[in-house]
Amino acid sequence: MSVVATFQIEFRRFLDPAGHVTQPLPPFAADPQNLIPLYRMMVLTRTFDAKAIALQRTGRLGTFASSLGQEAVSVGVGSAMRDEDVLLPAYREYGAQFWRGVTMTELFLYWSGDERGMDFSGPRHDFPICVPIATQVCHAAGVAYAFQLRREPRVAVAVFGDGATSKGDFYEAINIAGAWRLPAVFVINNNQWAISMPRLRQTAAQTLAQKAIAAGIPGEQVDGNDVIAVRHAVEQALAKARAGGGPTLIEALTYRLGDHTTADDASRYRDAETVKAQWAQEPVSRLRTYLVRCGAWDREKEEALEKECASRVQAAVEEFLAIKLPGPEQMFDHLYATLPPGLQEQRAAAVAFAPRAAAGQEEDHG
């Protein structure tokens, strides 16, 4: 017997959990001042996150998916992309979306059940939040194929969770991306949990990055709590894809510090000591510690940033709450060019019932 193929998966990290530099920094990170925008966006994302949960608890948002502890993944991805690239997010990539121009008001609208929140005023070509698991990975391959056919120097960037790598959509997408050398970057936001299913029970693979090997594309693992590592890996993958070098799979190792969503209670399947230990790894304090050590950040700047973020989030909340809710006809008006007769009747009934429902005059269906 002879060996016909071998592979290895590299792990990339620049800042350890204590905020110490572990290897020479990439050019963009050489000046600590260049890292402050990344830090500011991570803090804004966390402030938004906390307010969204508070709004859900008081009945003004529907179910909300928190990104607590995963801010470095989304901010690293968003800050590496060019405006003309296309982001295909799952439902925890708020930092990337904010970086690219999606507003907090739009995301509040979406999580309140108002689909107008996905009609982004900023990145018009970016895809809406994808709740079905892994379907956006196939969409990314299609977008990348369009870029290739048009000879456009643009890249499709799909972000998805570790659970998505167990779905057929994921394998099909990375396979065709590799076969056709599509300009795509696939980022696994590996927060260790697919709702209540731990990473180790989702797959027998030692890493998720090695799943790229079967598709014939490069795969690497980065510290997803180190925003420098995430941004550098994504920047390199984007440059390669833009130059015709084909796709890359990046596994960003992080941890979901909160519940899966506000409809979940993670304390039922996770022990508190594990979560407590993971807080020592989290990305915001890691970068802050480094910036303070460099003399680029201090308590006064931190307090000013906290006030600024709170003010911006509150302004977005007030704007969101002032927007009039859509009528029930919205559920029907964007489905067909011509609504079928059966749905026309349903639309009429919904419109007629809406005023009574709003006034609390619900009919007795018993």
Active-site residues: which are they?
A: 256, 260, 269
Question: 341 in helix, strand or coil?
Answer: helix
Cα–Cα distance measured from residue 45 to residue 53, given in angstroms and rounded to the nearest whole number: 12
What angle (nearest 5°) sits at the alpha carbon of residue 313, between those of residues 103 and 79? 50
Structure tokens at 232: 């550098």
256 in Cβ contact with 69 (< 8 Å)? yes
What angle (nearest 5°) sits at the alpha carbon of residue 133, between those of residues 131 and 135? 95
φ and ψ at residue 248, rounded to 5 degrees: -140, 145
φ and ψ at residue 157, rounded to 5 degrees: -120, 110
Question: 157 in helix, strand or coil?
Answer: strand
Structure tokens at 254: 């992080």
Question: 336 in helix, strand or coil?
Answer: coil
Distances (CA, A) of 166 to 136, 259, 347: 14, 21, 39
